Amino acid sequence: MNLIWTQYADFLDHLTLLWALILLPVGLLILIKGADWLVDGAVAVAKQFGLSPLIIGLTIVAMGTSAPEAAASIQAALDNSPGIAVGNVYGSNIANLALVGGLCALIRPIAVSRAVLIRDIPLMLAVVLGLYPIFYNHTLTRFESIVMLVVFGCIIVFMIQTEKRRARSNVQVAEQQRSAVEHAAAFQPQSLFISLCLIGIGLVCLAEGAGLTVASAKTIGIHAGLSDAVVGVTIVAIGTSLPELLTCLIASLKGHDDLSIGNLVGSNIFNTLLVIGASGVVKPYSIAVFPELTGSYYMWMLSVLFLFSGLAFVFKKITKPAGMLLVLSYVIYIVYSLGFFAKVNNIMTR
């Protein structure tokens, strides 16, 4: 068994471009299905122990959609690829609001509730702004990572308490939370044994899918002349944002605006604190060789967050024109990330 594992690890370390192109979508599919099975099993176990749909929706389901990002970033940290670990979070945050939020608004305008405006969006902005002092010296220590996880836990408790009060006073809120659980965990086995098996299979798929995704993305990036940071903010980020994309598109089609925008904003909070915190606890790292992660890409993330937040505060909804603006900003961001502007400038100055 050790020999097989060693050969498999060596295979991933020396992937050809062809194998990388084949295994990248395979790894992403395994990641997404692993998160899906993990959520199904965890929700079933939680219900068997008497937890309410509200608590399940705010914890297990919400963390389930961020599980691919967490798995990919932890694996990247273990593989000494901090550029991918942090870039994945930056890119996923940008993709959630600009790409996913924009596409959902193009389907139908997304109403933004008062709770999202006064609680969730300010929390999201505060969490992302808090990254700057953490990465000011270009390093993430284990102590800083633990602090991030503690803050994450406090935010979860705060959100659960405030949502409990909202659900008690608003039947529609309680129904939306129940709908979120039913949609995110459509298959809920009645047997505790099967539920635990699903959780185990989900965790294994997350680990193996993350390994395939990171290894394939790194190989593609090397052949394309891209840095780990660019690979993280583009290829890996888009792939790990697929659960949010699917969840929000379906929620928008069904008219569940709170679920759609809550998932987008909540996922960014989870990505920033949980994913970066967990990757740093597993293995502290430095991003000194990737100055763009504390410079241009951090500013891109802040710009998209403030753009999305500004539109929400001004119009109390994300309209179709706002959706077009968000998608356009994502296209420009991808073009910038792939170095198109720099290449054009080099051609013109020759």
pLDDT for position 347 = 42
Please write down the HEC assignment for all residues of 13-42: HCCCHHHHHHHHHHHHHHHHHHHHHHHHHH
- Report d(CA 72, CA 54) in Å as an integer: 28
Cβ(216)–Cβ(27) under 8 Å?
yes
Pick the CATH number of 53-186+226-348 from 1.20.1420.30, 3.20.20.70, 3.30.70.60, 3.40.109.10: 1.20.1420.30
10 alpha carbon, distance to own chain's centre: 29
Paired with 139 in beta bridges are 286
Q: What is the pTM of this model?
A: 0.82
pLDDT value at residue 348: 41
Task: Note whether 278 and 145 are within 8 A (CB).
Answer: yes
- Identify the pLDDT of residue 126: 95
214 burial via Cβ count (<10 Å: 0-12, 13-18, 19+): buried
pLDDT in tens, the chain (350 residues): 555 656 666 677 678 888 888 888 998 888 888 877 877 777 777 677 765 555 565 566 667 777 888 888 998 998 889 999 999 999 999 999 999 999 989 988 988 888 788 888 999 999 999 999 999 899 999 999 999 999 999 988 888 787 777 666 666 655 655 565 555 555 666 688 888 888 888 878 887 887 888 888 888 888 888 888 899 898 888 888 877 777 777 777 767 676 678 778 888 998 899 999 999 999 999 999 888 898 899 999 999 999 999 999 999 989 999 999 999 999 999 999 887 544 444 544 44
Domain range annotation of the chain: 53-186+226-348
Q: What is residue 20's predicted lDDT score, i.e. its pLDDT?
A: 87
- The four Cα atoms 191, 197, 200, 204 give a dihedral, to 10 degrees, of -140
The whole-number pLDDT of residue 304 equals 96
pLDDT of residue 252: 73
Tokens of 250: 């379906």
Kindly state the helix (H) or strand (E) to which residue 318 belongs, with its residue range: strand 317-318
Contacts of 330 (CB under 8 A, 6+ apart): 94, 95, 98, 99, 102, 304
